Structures are given as structure tokens and as C-alpha cells.
Amino acid sequence: MMDISVIIVNYHSAKMVIDCINSIYEKTKGVSYEIIVVDNASGDGSVETLRDTFGEKITVISSPENLGFGKANNLGARQATGKYLFL
């Protein structure tokens, strides 16, 4: 089991999410973690950009509709394997 599941909700902000994920990789040491990005139906190529940038290193969930922040986090939490959630 992972220590932490990092859940990031995206809506038209792939560049910021990429910067965020790169920062997580750079700064996080000493714990096991997974990164889950929930795309809230951006429709702007964010899903493809994130998958192309990080491949299998992260989990990208593409929601067919904009669920809002809370429901999107719940969707990510259902996929999470970490002992703790970091939203």
C-alpha cells in the first residue's frame, strides 16, 4: 500500500498540473506515493498532454462531465491506494 495518494483536479490547466507534478517529484522524499489526476471534462487536450508527458507514472482519470471539485476528488479517491489522501 502506498503511504499517500495525491489527487489533483484539472480543468483547462494542464500546464499548471505539469508544474505541480514536477514539483512533487522534485520535493517529495521518504514516502511512497501515487499521483492521480482527475480531468473535469476539459476538452482542451489536457488528458492527452498529461498522458504524453508522464505516461504510466501517473493515473489520469478523464471524466465525461465536469463534476466540480468535490465530486472529482471523490472519483480520484475511489481509485486511490494510499493510506492517506492529499487533495
The predicted model scores a pTM of 0.96
C-alpha cell at 49: 498532454
Q: What is the pLDDT of residues 64-75, one digit of tens each?
A: 999 999 999 999
Note the Cα 48 to chain centre separation in Å. Answer: 13
Q: Shortest CA distance to 45 belongs to which of 17, 76, 77?
A: 17
**What's the pLDDT score for residue 1?**
80
Confidence band for 78, pLDDT divided at 50, 70 and 90: very high
